[in-house]
Amino acid sequence: MSLTPQELDYLQKKIGREPNSVELQIVAAEWSEHCSYKSSKKHLKILPREGKRVISGPGYDSGVLDVGDGYVVTVHIESHNHPSAVEPYGGAATGVGGVIRDILSAGTRPIAILDGLRFGNIEKDTHARWLFKNAVRGIADYGNCLGIPTVGGEIEFDKCFTNYALVDVASVGFGKKERLVQNRADPDDWIVLLGGSTGRDGIGGSQFASDKLESENRSAVQIPDPFIEKLVIEAILEARNQQCIKAMKDLGGGGLSCAISETADALSVGIDLDVSLIHKREQNMSPTELMVSESQERMLVITSSEKLQTLKDICEKLHVPYSIVGQVTNNSMMQIKSQKEIVANLPSNVVANAPLLDRTSSKPKYLENISTIKKPKVPNLSHILLTMLSNPNIASKLWVYTQYDHEVGIRTVIKPGQDASVLRLDNGKFLSVKIDGNSKHCYINPRQGVIGCFDEACRNVICTGATPIGMVDHLQFGNPEDPEIFWTFKESVEGITEYAKYFDIPCVGGKVSLYNETNDGPIKPTPLIGVLGLIEGKPLIPMKAKRNDLIVLVGVTKDELGGSEYYEYVHEITGGRCPTVDMKSSKTIQRTVLEIIHRNLTKAVHDCSKGGLGVSLSELCITNEIGCLVSLDKVPSEKLREDEVLFSESHSRFLLIVDPSKIKNVKSLLEQNKVQHEIIGKFSGKAISFKNKSKMVASVRIDKAQEKWLNSLGLLVSHG
Report d(CA 575, CA 495) in Å as an integer: 20
Which of the residues 34, 43, 406, 651 is marked catalytic?
A: 34
* Secondary structure element (H or E) that encloses residue 94, with its range: helix 88-104
Report d(CA 153, CA 436) in Å as an integer: 8
The question of whether 319 is a catalytic residue gets the answer: no
Which of the residues 43, 76, 80, 441 is marked catalytic?
A: 80
DSSP letters for 432-498: EEEEEE-HHHHHH-HHHHHHHHHHHHHHHHHTTTPEEEEEEEEEE-S-TTSHHHHHHHHHHHHHHHH
The end-to-end CA distance of the chain, in Å, is 39
Nearest to 364 by CA among 492, 245, 469: 492
Helices (H) and strands (E) in the chain, counts: 24, 28
Q: Which contacts (CB < 8 Å, 24+ apart) does range 372-381 have?
A: 372/575, 373/562, 373/567, 373/573, 373/575, 373/576, 375/641, 376/567, 376/570, 376/571, 376/573, 378/641, 378/642, 378/643, 379/570, 379/643, 381/614, 381/642, 381/643, 381/646, 381/690, 381/697, 381/698
Secondary structure of 312-364 as H, E, C letters: HHHHHHCCCCEEEEEEEECCCEEEEEECCEEEEEEEHHHHHCCCCCCCCCCCC
Decide: residue 538, CB within 10 A, 0-12 exposed, 13-18 middle, 19+ buried: middle
Contact yes or no for 518/162 (Cβ under 8 A) = yes
The question of whether 80 is a catalytic residue gets the answer: yes
Q: What is the helix, strand, coil percentage profile of the chain, to 5?
A: 40, 25, 35
Decide: residue 112, CB within 10 A, 0-12 exposed, 13-18 middle, 19+ buried: buried
Report d(CA 64, CA 177) in Å as an integer: 9
Contact yes or no for 164/523 (Cβ under 8 A) = yes
Nearest to 200 by CA among 292, 125, 114: 292
Nearest to 136 by CA among 370, 400, 364: 400
Please identify every residue annotated as catalytic.
34, 80
